[in-house]
Structure 1
């Protein structure tokens, strides 16, 4: 029974090998890809959704405040100008007050300008082309002419667990950024026939000065195929090609 299930699993993965998600699953299952690659993708998606919800809350609160002031101005001072400058920093009191209001129960919808601005603010390291690519893919996913983005719909899967254009674009960008990260190491390590852990660590610090020791240890453990790495441990060095191939299958990114 177990053998048959294993065969069926292998057969299904081979049959649907054109699926990026299936390939990722199979790579993790067979030890070719670090499991953290999947978790990093899911965490990146979750962080973006949480940020968009936060920004929706902020934009709605601003609109509520402006509308309230407009009503006050009409009643008490019809000739006074409305304030046009909005404070982007909410106090804990005002946020709590807003969360208890009925606006929180509205749909998670932004204007196109708000959505584009939110992407820009969240992804400070992405190029304008990458931001525009995400923005356009979101509009393709939603497929309606309204000048608004129901962003919660962008984070849904179909019946077969496939992502839409927006999340597929985001994951592709994550993978491209990882490859770019790995490419930066090549000229640093190119002169070495074999690369030790200390040489690898120095190279990582040169391109990623903010990486934590725990994260660096995770890289080392995956790339050099060791468990529970400690600095005094003797580790067999790798040639550049093997090292880069292992790193490409690791969840590595700029910190």
Structure 2
């Protein structure tokens, strides 16, 4: 049994393995496994079994995410039902609330906002604080995931007969091919033949290497699901 949800501009599918663990996979092929430890806490691992974080509750009943590098996120509810996200030092890093239309509004510490909602066509839309569309996620008539950006650009994610993903632009030109190597790492090859290999470190971050094996970047996700890039 599986179900598909839209989560911050990605299609996310949930299913269960033979042991009853929850399996989460997004449209880019990233997999997370949720299982219970001996204390009843939820432990999150990647597809290789590497630890990402532990989900638990504090003495006040708040949800807590604890990461391998000592970082922590605590989700507290205020008197209005909004969610206040705090770090390991107790500092507020974001607030999540719903507007009168049921859309989720995420405000980070500097005051930047993003609104996550569905339009009248059922498409998932992300807007900034000015109401400007940042991205729209939908499917084409063939069931492929399509990302449309505010500047007219588009990315279509198609699967070939080998299970690899061909990413095409708004003109139908293949700009990227995504496949797994024998170690389970994702390999991207662009139209010019350049390669990028994406590996997971012990904290669940994605380390990017070029074709020579040199680390060129590390991708981390912030609390909003956005990718934060550290380039070398």
Question: Which of the pair is proportionally richer in helix?
Answer: 1
Normalising by the smaller structure, the TM-score range is under 0.3
Q: Higher relative contact order by CA 8 Å / sep ≥ 6: 1 or 2? A: 1
Larger Rg: 1
TM-score w.r.t. the length of structure 1 is 0.20
